[in-house]
Amino acid sequence: MESSTKIRRILARLGVVLLQLLTTQVVTFLVSLLVPDIEGFQQDHSALFILMLGGTFTTGVFLAGWLALRRGWLKEKPRYLARLLAALLGAFVPLVVALILYHTLEAGNPFFFLSMLASVVGFYIPGWTGKE
């Protein structure tokens, strides 16, 4: 009985992580529809492009994680502010490193996916380090 509970928790967490990654893509797509000439924007204004991507990645990860916590899919303490700030930090650190290394960020940059993963990990860190 105990092993089936652990398997359910692992599957639930993997499902939420997948939902978070999917939500980052959806939020980024919706924001890109609002920004005219996104290709020129990413070439000419890389710093603003990083702000946009970091914001959409953080929003996607946090919204899906918030939903999972509210619906009971994750059995952890909410700590919403800490989770939001950690996801924000996780999203922006790889993007800033990418900007330093590449100067011009183009579609398909591997740091984008790394940024999404770091944001997801950042969302879970307050649950791992939080005091009861």
Question: Residue 66 sits in which domain range?
Answer: 2-129
Is the pTM of the predicted complex or chain greater than 0.75? yes
Mean pLDDT of the chain: 89
Q: How far apart are CA 102 and CA 109, in angstroms?
A: 9
Instruction: Of 128, 127, 126, give the one whose Cα is nearest residue 86.
Output: 126
User: How many domains, the chain?
Assistant: 1
| Rg from Cα positions in the chain | 16
Q: How far apart are CA 95 and CA 127, in angstroms?
A: 24
Q: How confident is the model at residue 83 (pLDDT cuts 50, 70, 90)?
A: very high
72's CB contacts (< 8 A; 6+ apart) are none
Task: Compare 117 and 104 and report the one with higher pLDDT.
Answer: 117
Tokens of 73: 């899919």
